[in-house]
Amino acid sequence: MAVRLKDIARDLNVSVVTVSKVLRNHGDISRGTRERVLKRMKELNYRPNLAARALVTGRTRAIGVIVPDLVHPFFSEVAKGLSRVLRKKSYGLVISSSEEDPELERDEIDQMLARRVDALVIASTQWSVESFRRVEEQGTPYVLIDRRFTGMSANFVGVDDERVGELATGHLIEAGCRRIAHIRGSGISPALGRLEGYRRALARHHLTVPAAYIVAGESADDAGHLSGRRAMRKLLALNPRPDGVFCFNDPTAMGALEAILEAGLRVPHDVAVAGCGNVHYSALLRVPLTSVDQQSRLIGERAAKLALSLVEAKGAPTRPRTVLLEPRLVARESTARGKETANVCQLK
């Protein structure tokens, strides 16, 4: 059904090799032949069989990406960034979701390796690095995004999570908050980094908070908004009640927002809220949400570029690179306290 080099060769009374050379702009072909071949290719709508080509070249011109959740706006943005860069180089994007399940992730990695993708981009839910060893064994280069592993030097692209925590917390402090709580994520690296940044910002301003001001959201990113609500309820029950909260991510922050409003309190006056992710509808929420932009799209683009450069390097041992992007604060109403409040607090 599909047209093959052979068909074109036969039609034109030339060899397959000749046609193949024209296809790849491989010199040493007379103008005449080249044009006849191109013409026929166009007529027959010829498209080279990439599977066949992959078999002989060892390159599929496909990059695999595995994310925990396709619907999470962060990963959608990443995918868009990846796709944008890969398209330009006519690489394909094979995508799959681990559904936040480490075991599933391992299966998906195996699938990708079987498919012989040229490189792999992974936002891992893994606790151990064992599956990456297997990727390395196959000689497939890979780039981690968003989540990294301590004590493992691998290619990584992500936002500087400690800066995220510092930025958000610092902003809350500047807004006049003094009793700042944190709803943290589960044990993955971004959660730890943001927590660390939060602590650092508090320390720098000589603020201390009760241990109970740090509460854990659930692990399931998907239900972030529900777990954020639960966590915020706990915080509101404390005495003294926090006057500001930095949430691990935007879904969590939305949940927190809900809990605060449900309790009959005002945002930002009673409790200011900052999140992270700057999902594109943050501005449209019940109270427009201050958020730290983690440059999702850019993460995808940089990851794609890094992956491609590894492919070009053809397994020549490149030492792992780390790309840390600078987060940016986007201030909105959820932290917009009146100046006077800020001043009063600062006097104290």
Partner DNA sequence: TTGAAAGCGGTACCAA
Partner DNA sequence: TTGGTACCGCTTTCAA
Q: Which residue in the set 1, 211, 316, 347 belongs to the binding site for its own copies (CB under 8 A)?
A: 1
Tell me, residue by residue from 208 to 247, as one string, x for binding to its own copies by CB under 8 A and - for no binding.
-----------------x----------------------
> Number of C-alpha atoms within 13 angstroms, CB side, residue 342?
12
Token pair 């995508």 is found at 95
Give the CB-side neighbour count of residue 173, counting CA atoms within 13 A.
19
Q: Which does 217 bind (CB under 5 to 8 A by kind): its own copies, DNA, none?
A: none
Torsion on CA atoms 120, 125, 129, 135, rounded to nearest 10:
-20
Strands 119-122 and 92-97, by their bridges, are unpaired
| Residue 48 vs 102, nearer CB to DNA | 48
Q: Which of 6, 39, 286, 314 binds its own copies (CB under 8 A)?
A: 286
Least separation in angstroms between CB 66 and its own copies = 11
Tokens 């690296």 label which residue?
189
Q: Which of 223, 256, 224 is nearest to 242 (CA)?
A: 256
Phi and psi at 121, nearest 5°, equal -120, 125
Q: Supply the minimum distance, in Å, between the C-beta of residue 23 and DNA.
A: 5
Residue 180: how many CB atoms within 10 A of its CB?
25
Residues in contact with DNA by the rule CB under 7 A: 2-6, 13-18, 20-21, 23-24, 27-30, 32-34, 48-49, 52-53, 55-57
Residues that bind its own copies (CB under 8 A): 1-2, 45, 47-52, 54-55, 60, 62, 69-71, 73, 76-77, 79-80, 83, 87, 90, 92-97, 108, 110-111, 113-116, 134, 137-139, 225, 254, 257-258, 279-281, 284-288, 315
